[in-house]
Chain A
């Protein structure tokens, strides 16, 4: 599964309780749309560290890296470089 699909499915399954792909756009802001709150973002970080074997540093815990599917995909790509 692609990084994008892994993240998208995680959000759909755990926070939107659906497998309807149209329920989430890749650019949707998790915080602005009320999909995740700050505890939810911490859960996503935990998931990313576990799933992709990366370590998210304190300074990287900003919305630009974590607040949408697209943002996370770019962030993971950057971490893997």
Chain B
């Protein structure tokens, strides 16, 4: 049992940071040179750890003059994430723009569609209320299902299970945010003849925690192979501002603060990294249980949940299916 924790420590925690940074930067340059053939990169900077590290790696690979950063806040974006984004941009000294997407989201009906579904669950919901979605079930062997948490203007929180139709409508509406952001990223990429950098870490990429044609869309994903723990390690190694290195991962998508583990993952990221790694090396539930200090049954459910999410989100990774192969296009 101890061996597993030691192996994780050796392979994942104590990885050679210099070597990894060199490998990523060299691969990014190689891809740009031989596949993408663009002059530089666009990175949407959210203030979170993943986009910050991806942005820093892009600057290291191509230089500050070949990068363009964008901040894309809307009404539910937290002020502290925007402020961290500004610190990063200043720290890396890259040309940038800020495009507040609230008016676009309003015009397309994002907030209206979301609130319509919330009101079906909480009829009293209205101005001054806040909301978020919380996942339940995965750690208890239940089918994952979703709770809507709202906070009234007096600060009192209320929680109800979401009916499927309302859940799907809230998610579909909020997905506008990631898709509008991507539209703007590609506007700038097209304008500059740049490529777009996608910023998922391994947990997000593996478990399908992204919006298809939204944050899932990019030309290059430099940290998709890195566990979140490793992304934090690289942030420190690259000397990013302290506020970014210490930031707690949030979705920054709902008006109430929402941890990624509340919305999507069965466990906080440190444990999810270990669980995903254990799954990838074929470790047993009992080994994982000992490593995480949870029961063997819970470990079994966590491993099952990883497999279920892979199955459920596989289509998000997939290219459109064709009726017949087109080898002349390499498809």
Q: Do A and B come from one complex?
A: yes
Query: Hey, which bits of chain A sit against chain B, CB under 8 A?
Result: 31, 34, 37-39, 41-43, 45-46, 58-59, 61-63, 66
**Could you count the A-B residue pairs with CB atoms below 8 Å apart for me: how many are there?**
39
Q: Which residues of B contact A38 (CB under 8 A)?
A: 143-144, 308-309, 312
Residues of the B chain whose Cβ atoms lie less than 8 Å from the Cβ of A34? 311
- Residue in A37, A45, A58, A66 whose beta carbon sits within 8 Å of that of B308 in the complex: A37
Q: Is B3 an interface residue (CB 8 A)?
A: no
Q: Is the CB of A58 within 8 A of B142?
A: yes
> B239 contacts which chain A residues (CB < 8 A)?
none
Q: What total of chain B residues lie within 8 Å of the partner, measured CB to CB?
A: 16
**Which A-B residue pairs are the 10 nearest by beta carbons?**
A37-B312, A46-B164, A61-B143, A61-B142, A41-B143, A42-B164, A38-B144, A38-B312, A37-B311, A62-B142
Q: How far in angstroms is the closest Cβ of chain B from A75?
A: 13
> Which residues of B (13-59) have their CB < 8 Å from a CB of A?
none
Which B-chain residue is minimally distant from A41 (CB atoms)? B143
Q: Which residues of B contact A46 (CB under 8 A)?
A: 163-165
Task: Looking at the assembled complex, report how far the CB atom of B3 sits from the nearest CB atom of chain A, in whole angstroms.
Answer: 31
Chain A nearest CB, measured from B166 CB (Å) = 10
B interface residue numbers (CB < 8 A to A): 136-137, 141-145, 161, 163-165, 167, 308-309, 311-312
* Identity of the chain A residue whose Cβ is nearest the Cβ of B314 in the assembled complex: A37
The secondary structure that dominates the A interface is helix
- Choose one: B136, B309, B312; the contact of A58 (CB below 8 Å): B136
Nearest-neighbor residue (CB-CB) of B142 within chain A: A61
**Interfacial chain B residues near A41, Cβ < 8 Å:** 143
With both chains docked as a complex, state the minimum distance between the C-beta of B212 and any C-beta of chain A, in angstroms. Answer: 14
- Nearest CB to that of A42 among chain B residues? B164
Q: Is B311 within 8 A of A61, CB to CB?
A: no
Contacting pair A61 B308 (CB below 8 A): no
Distance, CA A73 to CA B165, complexed state (A): 24
9 sample A-B contacts, Cβ–Cβ < 8 Å, listed by A number: A34-B311, A42-B143, A42-B167, A45-B164, A46-B163, A46-B164, A46-B165, A58-B136, A63-B141
